[in-house]
Amino acid sequence: MLQRYSRAPNSGSLPRIQTLRRPDLPSRCHSAQFMQYTSISTRWPLLTRPGLSPWRRKTCPMTYNNGHRLLATAVEGAMRQEDVTLSHIHSHISPTYMQPPPPHTPLYHLRAFDPATALQIKIKDGTLPRHRVSTSGIPGGIDEMLSLFDACIDVNKLERAALVLQRLSQFRDDEGLPGSKLVLLHNQYLRAGVVRALEQPESRSAESLHQWFEVQIREKNVPYTPETIAYMLKATLLSSQGSELSGLVTRYLNLLPEESTWPVLDAGILNQQDFGTITSIYQPISNLATGDWGSLGDDASPEPNMSSDPSVCEEPQSESNVAPDVLAVPQKGLGLETLRGVLSFFDQIDGKGLARLSSDERREIQARLEKDCVEAAIQRWRVERENLAKMGRNTSLSKYGLNSKLYDWQCSLEEQIQEDLDLVSQSEEREKKTSDDLERCIYGPFMRQSTAARLAAVTIMTVLNCLAQNGADQGVPLSGLVSNVAKATEDDVRLQVRQRRMAESKIRLKKKEEDQQVSYQSRRATDVTVSDIRDGDEPTPTGTNSHILGVSKFDFVSWPVLVKAKLGARLLAALIASANVTVTREHPKTKELVSQIQPALAHTRIHRKGKTLGVVLPNKALVEMMKQEPRGDYLARHLPMLVEPTPWSKFDSGGFIQSPSQLVRIKGGEEDQRVYAKAAIQRGDLEQACKGLDVLGKTAWQINKPVFEVLLEAWNSGEKLANIPPLHPSIPVPEEPPASEDPLVRRVWLRRVKAVENEKSGLHSERCFMNFQLDIARAFRDLTFYFPHNMDFRGRAYPLPAYLNHMGADHVRGLLRFAKGRELGERGLYWLKIQLANVFGFDKASLQEREAFATEHLKDVYDSAAKPLSGGRWWLKAEDPWQCLAACFELRAALESPDPTKYVSQLPVHQDGTCNGLQHYAALGGDLWGAQQVNLTPGDRPADVYSAVAELVKKQITEDAAADNFMAKAVEGKITRKVVKQTVMTNVYGVTFTGAKAQVQKQLEAAYPDLESQAGIPITLISSYVVTKTFNALSTMFRGAHDIQYWLGECAGRVCRSISPEVVDQLAAEGSATSAKRRPAKGRNSSTAHTKDDTQDLAGYFRSTIVWTTPLRMPVVQPYRKNSARHIPTCIQELRLATPDRSDPVNRRKQLQAFPPNFIHSLDASHMLLSALECDELGLTFAAVHDSFWTHAADIDAMNRVLRDAFVRIHSEDVIGRLACEFKARYEGYLQLTKIPRSSATGVEVAKWRRSQKIGLKRELLMERQRQKLISSSDPKEVAKGLDMVTPASIYEKLSSADETLPVNEDIDEVALGGLSNAELGESEEGENMAVRKNDLGMDTERVQGLMKVTHFEATLKKMSGPQSKKSSSPMEIWVPITFPDIPVKGDFDVTQLKDSQYFFS
């Protein structure tokens, strides 16, 4: 949470002060650093009482280095806790992981992996204590207090920081910070106090530190470190003289044992002059040679202030080729071109142009491009306002561009924020605080970390972007808007920190080069780059198992929810109060135009589903301006890069140069994935993943100018062309019906009018987004650029630039080409023709037929390239018209060259997998039939799995029709490949039954609009019937994959119903074992009376999420939990905000449904990254869109071999077997709550045992945990005692037969291929008037026809929704050690066959 140490704006820091470094925070930021204090007792002992052993001369080696900045260097360059290296953690890591791979092992080969040593993070569970806000305005949560303390230290509010420390000290030992971590905060406070004493020598800051040390540290038995004593010595030297100085120096040094002398003097706090004074006073160390302290350095002269960044060069930028402006929905104001013009560095580039600058120059430009975005937005607004002023326009009364008004908003909001900051100071000083004062005390220090100008600009841009994303006229929920504003503010603060630290690092490096007396140790301690900035705990090894790492519960990275809610609401309220727009309307009588200033935003409440929700609604005038002028602000941080991205080296170091980015995309509150990813990086597990992302990022791109020119001309025409929506869509509005007594008539009309408005709004939004993309393409048309990549939690790679990247729609892909070209050669010309056929849509034929297709249409190709808009427009008939046009340009240019094989091509040529998810499933399950359908086996023609599934569906329907099934008769002959394609494609990735039904319904309605009226059957029912047949066909074709999905789902179900040993021990510590015995309900069986209640009580302890390791050794953590919510009062209204926490129970349904598709995604991500690494090794240019791989036409054959080899390498290993071993190791010791039949022998015996014991499930859980501990003991007596214990699990183990297995998870049907969710089948939807069960769809046609004649309400009332079944007794729940089912038997398919399959990717 600590952001910076350098003085906040207007704090008056003194550049001459060069004697301090910043200490570390507690483990919320660096538990690893805390290890340096605690684990090495001879260096950093924690002391609560003085060691009085006699002193004697002790010479310490000068090579000792504690990894810190020395005191005798600049305050402005003070180290942060993020700067501390964590290399010492490597000493705890298993040699298996720390040793590099064999020297000749290529990077693209899979590393050896032992599932038994898979990375495990043991989170110290337990909710943090939370109390009321104190009367002095200190919040009651530890996370909130730590964040507030950090902010107060940051902005030099030491009095407030002291109050936070005092309250933290009041917590009980079992709920607060341990003393060993609390002392780090005290050190931080002491350090800030010494800084103040140096900056303000006339103050009594130094004297107050002595009292603080005695009262807050020694009297409260807080263990102090040598660093603490070093600060006290520094305070003594600043505040005392004569005998007082001698007495205090002697006293403080006597508090330490002899072996701790050196850490005090070498802590980087005392300089050589201080050492001289101390040695003259304290004789035991007076004999140390002064010359040995050269590494401490002398007090240097004040460091000169350095400008933010030097100019790259002085001459103005030369003009590049002028392209036509982007018309239609161009940004009515200055637009992107002006945004680029006002960025400071664009005026300082000489005539060479960007493309001809050196790498270092372009890197400097890229860094400034990233950091100037907020200032550029403010300048943009200011310039447009000044332009209007020159025209004599008053922006408050004019209707001109939104940007000119935004500067008025900026000025007004900036003034309000400054007033609020003044009120914060008054509130902090007021003794008796009101509720408003208490609120200001919480968010005030965080506001001070930025400036009023930046806070105002960030708030304005965030609100407008949220309005644009949600639909300008729809409004935005208040809670979401507040969270977005707070998150953007926090990110901007972090960005400012990064920028300052980079500038400080440059200053320090420059000074060290001039200072010849700086030792190697000092150099290591001060060489800090932006990559050293870290947040959060680093995991630490637990016990002897180096792969099991522990993380403290005091692990906070972002601002707490309370702070975000208070700060975000305050900024949003200020914007609502200050933002105005001019509304011009026609007077109803005089017909004159009347202008009025109205609020731009309004806060209101709406009622939805029985709840009152706060909403921020924009003024209609603002909506109209936003539609004409789409927002382009904040764009600079999301543009492509001008240089190769920074290689990924740490979790938050890579990609952009200065803009904060993370290796793994993590949503707010999903801390587990962050912790696992950091630990994996620290252990070296993510080397291949990081290098793979680097390969994707260093691919150089350019704008395909011929395609851009055509696209720009079509865009400026305003007409619809390909996927470009029209500027003025002609969508007729239904006529208003005449007055009618039937209210439904008008309601239907209103619904149709709303549909038309929504369609127009959607087209406009789409056009606005395309406007962004075209503006960016125009700005970069003469440049080479790059797309930095990161990955999601499954390992799938995504480009960081949001608007323009190769994962965009067809027109964006058509606009992009490789910056580097390759000669085609014979094979390249062949593949270029196939690319043309593929993007046209002729991709189901053989490769030879595709080449012939291109050759046969050469006349159309030439016409399309020569006259794309005025000719025959053949390219517009393609499935991907813009990519087809790009292929036409490239093919014509090659064929018109003197030697087509020598033509240098830059066009990316694609190789796409055949339903890649099913390819992985077929390989995992060994399904020969399924493998043939997805081209894993050699063949003369490409197989089409969608057509194969369609044929199976047709066969089933024909059989049902012969059996007189009325639904089969309605749809017979109407099933095509297109009807089932989307369902087959998405089923492997977890599509629900409802989603599949909507997909099939959409295709049926498009192909047969009158199907419902002709058949007399609701289209939803027909769609449900087709979906069941489609799922049945899939499960038949991919039998092995079907079994694997069931196995994955069953494993997930058991994990989600299990409790870890740590949580069980926590239950025991909370006193669950001594809870009062429940009395059975009257007239009920005692063995069941307690079970239901206890299960509900224990539901909050099911926190075990699904974790697995990919073939690239990336740990994947599923983030699905039932997040708790917190009601927080703000200045606008009370907000109910989600507060995600790793102690929240898992969302079992989401975990089960998401695990199989996420597992497959992790495999295809590994395949892609392995392929990228090998292609890079071979010198190939490589890009990818998940399962679509791109390279030059000349290199397709080489890339195809790489793709096949990488797939074979992954699936030649026992992927499922390794996963099973990992699960057994990861969840060893977990206890699972499972169900057994009450009538079974085990059930009868357990019921008898429970009647005699009369205890609940909690007590049974603790008993079973105790039994497992005894059985695993090394003491034979304890083992015998454990074997003699009787628990439900021991009864189950004794009575269950060898063949008897635990019952299958009741939700398992939802995760398998063709699985149908009972919950989904039973849910009612608007417009449906029947309830049909799964079995009814194809069997009991009379029942279905009967249900069709009644409403859903009548069917429910009459209990007609399904066949009545005999009521069975509820199962019995017992605790057993978790086990996993046997792995399904694999089929006969040999994955190496795909090496000869030319259509595996084609």
Q: What is the pLDDT of residues 591-611, one digit of tens each?
A: 788 888 889 899 988 877 777
726, 908 contact by CB (below 8 A):
no
Q: Is the per-residue pLDDT at 529 higher than 50?
A: no
> Is pLDDT above 90 for 1063?
no
What residue type is assigned to position 482 of the chain? V
Question: Which distant-in-sequence residues (6+ apart) come within 8 Å of 227 by Cβ?
Answer: 23, 37, 44, 187, 263, 264, 267, 269
Average pLDDT on 1158-1174 reads 94
Q: 499 or 114: whose pLDDT is higher? A: 114
Residue 1343 has pLDDT above 90, yes or no: no
Rounded to whole angstroms, the Cα distance separating 222 from 169 reads: 9
Cα–Cα nearest to 973, from 984, 962, 957: 957
Q: Which residue has the higher pLDDT, 249 or 354?
A: 249
Average pLDDT, the chain: 77
**1210-1237 tens-digit pLDDT:** 999 999 999 999 999 999 999 999 998 8
Across 388-402, 588-602, 750-764, least confident range: 388-402
pLDDT the model gives residue 284 = 74
pLDDT of residue 698: 95
pLDDT value, residue 1134: 87
Give the pLDDT band (50/70/90) at residue 33. very low
**Of 882, 904, 884, nearest in space to 893 by CA:** 904
Rounded-to-integer distance, Cα 317 and Cα 340, Å: 12
Alpha-carbon gap, residue 63 to 1155, rounded angstroms: 52
Choose from 155-169, 328-342, 534-548, 1291-1305 the range with maximum mean pLDDT: 155-169
As a whole number of angstroms, the distance between CA 1149 and CA 1143 comes to 18
Question: What one-character DSSP code corresponds to residue 129?
Answer: P
Find which of 40-49, 434-443, 533-542, 981-990 is predicted with most confidence, using mean pLDDT. 434-443
DSSP code per residue over 471-517: -TTT-EEHHHHHHHHHHHHHHHHHHHHHHHHHHHHHHHHHHHHH-TT
Residue, of 1253 and 874, whose pLDDT is higher = 874
Which residues, at least 6 apart from 410, have a Cβ–Cβ distance to it below 8 Å?
A: 378, 381, 453, 456, 457, 460
More confident residue, 378 or 1400: 1400
Q: pLDDT band for position 1347 (50/70/90)? A: low
Residue 147 has pLDDT above 50, yes or no: yes
Residue-wise DSSP of 670-711: -HHHHHHHHHHHHHTTTHHHHHHHHHHHT-EEEE-HHHHHHH
- Catalytic residue set: 912, 981, 1187
Of the pLDDT bands very low, low, confident and very high (cuts 50, 70, 90), residue 1283 is: very high
Q: Look at residue 1171 and tell me whether its pLDDT is greater than 80.
A: yes
pLDDT at 535: 40
pLDDT at 516: 40
**Which amino acid, 518?**
V
pLDDT of amino acid 629: 60
Q: What does DSSP say about strands 545-551 and 120-123: parallel, antiparallel, or unpaired?
A: parallel
- Which pLDDT score, from 0 to 100, does residue 464 have? 83
Given this model, what pLDDT does residue 551 score? Answer: 66
Neighbours of 1207 (CB within 10 A): 27
Cα 455 to Cα 434: distance, rounded to the nearest angstrom: 25
H or E element, residue 646: strand 646-650
> Per-residue pLDDT for 964 more than 50?
yes
Estimate the share of the chain in helix, then strand, then coil, as percent rounded to the nearest 5: 55, 10, 40
605 beta partners? 614
Segment of 253-267, 358-372, 468-482, 951-965 carrying the highest mean pLDDT: 951-965
Residue 565 pLDDT exceeds 60: yes
The span from the CA of 226 to the CA of 228, in Å, is 5
624: Cβ contacts below 8 Å, ≥ 6 apart: none
CA 45 → CA 41, 210, 258, 537, 726, distances in Å? 5, 21, 11, 21, 73
Q: What CA–CA distances, in Å, run from 920 to 425, 915, 1155, 1162, 1400? A: 62, 9, 15, 11, 12
Determine whether 204 is exposed, middle or buried from the number of CB atoms within 10 Å of its CB (0-12, 13-18, 19+).
exposed
Is 1312's pLDDT higher than 70?
Answer: no
Q: How much is the pLDDT for 45? A: 39
User: Does the pLDDT value for residue 129 go beyond 60?
Assistant: yes
**Rounded to 5 degrees, what are φ and ψ at 310?**
-70, 155
